Structure 1
Amino acid sequence: MAGAASTIAIAHDYLTQQGGAERVVLALSRAFPEAPIYTTLYDPATTFPEFGDRQVVTSPLNRLAFLRRDHRAALPLLAPASNAVRIDADVVIASSSGWAHGFRSTGRTLVYCHNPARWLYQTDQYLGDAGRLSPKRFAVTALGPALRRWDRRAAHRADRYLANSNVVRERIAAAYGIEADVVPPPPGLGTGGEQSAHRELTDWQDRRFWLVVSRLMPYKNVDVVLDAFRDRPDDRLVIVGAGPERERLVQMLPPNARIVSGVSDAELRWIYAHAAGLIAPSHEDFGLTPLEANSWGLPVVALRAGGYLDTVVEGRSGLFFEEVQPAAVSRALDAASAHAWHQEVLKAHAQEFGEGRFAARIRQEVERLLDGPAAPGP
């Protein structure tokens, strides 16, 4: 039976960046403040500073500084490193999009899946326009068969799977043959904290700008939004994010667009407070940013795909565009600018995905594993 002596641990693939998955780990850590966090790689300088207040346990890979700077370089090593992680706890909550579900535990494992490994099951989308002879494509192609076998074995060791969206639920079923319930994550950024003006944007605070908050990866489609704004000289665009696409995107910036990276939460709150709305152009597994924007009373213009189908209600919290084309983005922006949005409705929509509801559901799942009989294999 569950009791005060039950031990809980949290696992995550790697803590080397600031994204939606890392915000979910922070929410899990607030729900279980005594739980240590296990991960393969941890770089306090590049992830959220709140992790510095938690007990973070890393794999031996973390001794290699260059892997902390670029976790993709660790691809050949991450499966054996994940196998080597041993967690002594009654329940491990594994926040996973590829590795943490493979950590070994003495107790039960509850997987909160952001997506089955994108590089294994959505390879072309993950690689973008990487050439046939690119090192990244070569590595994924060469390692793919063995990693898929490892990944499926790891998935079937888990006692319970949860998906962050309906599209991820479908992907879990396709990749693993496992039925997962959907538990949406909460918006990651609260509106009540400190705001700090971003030094690269203070000259733009006189007029509201459209906003993209995204990792700068090929499948995020940020270049399409830039092309849309190239033909909208009277509008402004701010892109918040970092990633391997940054240099290429900087080279193609039109005069009415800027990219800012290394943004603190206080600066991001200031940016949201000065935005006109959010553009969400990628094929996301869930996508926290539309809910973050709605919590600030901002409408969303989103691609009609993926996790946005779970979080954007057309006409109430945002509008959709149908294809990843500059003209489609621009038409949706025109429609959003002409639409009568109501801040109280936008904020109420975001509150339906509150952190309290998320934490209560995860606690319920943990109690279920502690109290119930051993789960049968999928």
Structure 2
Amino acid sequence: MRVAIVHDWLPFMGGAENVIINMHEVFPEAPIYTSMCNRMNMRGALRDADIRTTFLQKTDKKMLNHRRLFPYMPTAMESIDLRGYDVVISSSTSVGKSVITGPDTLHICYCNTPMRYAWEQRHNYIGPLVGKGGFKNRMISYFMTFMRVWDYATSARVDVFVGNSVNVAKRIRKYYRRDAYVIHCPVRTAMFHTTKEDGGFFLCVSRLQEYKGIELAVKVCSDNNLPLYVIGTGPMKEKLEAMAGPTVKFLGFVDDDELKDYYARCKALIFPGVEDFGITPLEAQASGRPVIALGKGGILETVIENETGVFFDEPTPNSLLEAIRRFESMTFDKEKIRAHALEFDESVFKDRLKRFVEEQYRIFKEKQMEGITVYK
């Protein structure tokens, strides 16, 4: 069984890229096709993997803003030659699923999310990008209308959809009118550990972007003199630092050794955004620490309320503060929290993925002649 892996783009490492590492470890002989790649940013198994790029990769130099290439991505992905493969696994948050395969090739799409900026979060993305009103805003809106039509049309190129969560499977059904299996994202639980030491601080680990909701955590902790450490960088960094009180510390980027230490010592991870799945809450739980989270989206599948964390209902200061106060009155079992996170370990994902691909390929081969009648 010849397998190929497809991903939207590889400018840097993140949660979706860790999924690709796990796919590569399950199918080590499979080449990885992508629109463009910053090879110097790759780590782990991707550093030396067989990564094949499109015509958008005009240089080996670091590409600082891959989003500028987005208008060319549909053509780039459709130019990838996947002839000769029995199975193509596309890992897609945007354009990855759009590759074209032949009738003898099974195309499985592992969908991290339908294209956010084309569908229900389009206003969150387009507004900050172009500002209020104006010609540029209208042009991008027209372009995104085309992208929605194209995105829906390319969903028909997929034989089997897999969502990374029930939350994403619901969105696949909504926007593509397709059913999907669910295989939860892999988490590097072995990297994290518990400790008896308590640093006495709350923690946020996130890219500092508006939709992540970090502003809410900074405001609540600043207004109530609660210690908060914020790990991550992004376009909102200066704004958040300007509004933060003396109890809030911004640590920027930290390496893995520092990260797992902060996770292990924090009182709890504050997770104020809505994510398709959410890796950081499971990393915190793998460290034996509970999560205080907005009770919407993928977090409902990864946190057990009052056992591995607490939820708040609305993205408002009062709602978050009430959840923090409730958390302060509770006790949590670190080992029980970590045991829950182990259910999402990389080894679980890889076992499920391997069995699923083999099963779906067998079914695909058995059903290839269904509905075909040779008329004589």
- Band the TM-score falls in, shorter-chain normalisation: 0.7 to 0.9
Structure 2, unpaired ranges of 5+: 372-376
2: CA distance, partners of 1:126 / 1:300: 27
44 and 133 in structure 1: CA distance in 2 versus 1, 3 angstrom threshold: farther
Q: CA RMSD in A?
A: 2.5
What residue identity is the alignment partner of 2:151? D
- 1:98-137 mapped onto 2 (5 Å cutoff): 98-106=94-102, 107-122=105-120, 123-127=122-126, 129=128, 131-133=131-133, 137=137
User: SS in structure 1 opposite 2:110?
Assistant: strand
1: CA distance, partners of 2:45 / 2:248: 30
251 and 159 in structure 1: CA distance in 2 versus 1, 3 angstrom threshold: same
Matched, 1:228 2:217: no
**Higher relative contact order (Cα pairs below 8 Å, separated by 6+ residues):** 1
Q: Choose the corresponding residue for 1:254, options 227, 235, 245.
A: 245
Alpha-carbon shift at residue 140 of structure 1 (Å): 3.7
- Equivalent pair of 1:79/1:147 in contact (CA under 8 Å): no
In the superposition, the TM-score normalised over structure 1's length comes to 0.87
Q: Choose the corresponding residue for 1:298, options 285, 289, 299.
A: 289
What's the counterpart of residue 180 of structure 2? 180
Q: Choose the corresponding residue for 2:86, options 69, 76, 90.
A: 90
User: SS in structure 2 opposite 1:352?
Assistant: helix
2: CA distance, partners of 1:259 / 1:62: 35
2: CA distance, partners of 1:135 / 1:317: 48
What residue identity is the alignment partner of 2:92? S
Structure 1, unpaired ranges of 5+: 1-5, 194-204
135 and 268 in structure 1: CA distance in 2 versus 1, 3 angstrom threshold: farther
Larger Rg computed on CA atoms = 2
- 1:146-295 mapped onto 2 (5 Å cutoff): 146-188=146-188, 190-191=190-191, 207-233=199-225, 235-295=226-286
Alpha-carbon shift at residue 7 of structure 1 (Å): 1.6
2: CA distance, partners of 1:166 / 1:220: 20
* 1:138-189 deviations in Å (ceiling 9; x for gaps): 5541211211122112211111001111221111111111000111112245
What's the counterpart of residue 196 of structure 1? none
- 1:74-89 mapped onto 2 (5 Å cutoff): 74-88=69-83, 89=85
- Equivalent pair of 1:217/1:245 in contact (CA under 8 Å): yes
In the superposition, the TM-score normalised over structure 2's length comes to 0.88
| 80-89 or 321-330, larger mean C-alpha shift | 80-89
* 1:40-78 deviations in Å (ceiling 9; x for gaps): 121234454542132211122122689831222222111
Matched, 1:326 2:317: yes
| 94-103 or 40-49, larger mean C-alpha shift | 40-49
Alpha-carbon shift at residue 31 of structure 1 (Å): 1.9
- Equivalent pair of 2:221/2:248 in contact (CA under 8 Å): yes
User: SS in structure 2 opposite 1:25?
Assistant: helix
| 86-95 or 294-303, larger mean C-alpha shift | 86-95
281 and 9 in structure 1: CA distance in 2 versus 1, 3 angstrom threshold: same
Identity %: 33
- Equivalent pair of 1:210/1:279 in contact (CA under 8 Å): yes
328 and 240 in structure 1: CA distance in 2 versus 1, 3 angstrom threshold: same
* 1:78-131 deviations in Å (ceiling 9; x for gaps): 111111122342212111111110123352211111110000012123346553
User: SS in structure 2 opposite 1:119?
Assistant: helix
2: CA distance, partners of 1:260 / 1:86: 44
- Equivalent pair of 1:189/1:265 in contact (CA under 8 Å): no
User: SS in structure 2 opposite 1:307?
Assistant: helix
1: CA distance, partners of 2:137 / 2:187: 33
2: CA distance, partners of 1:19 / 1:136: 30
1: CA distance, partners of 2:177 / 2:76: 25
2: CA distance, partners of 1:266 / 1:256: 24
- Equivalent pair of 1:188/1:288 in contact (CA under 8 Å): no
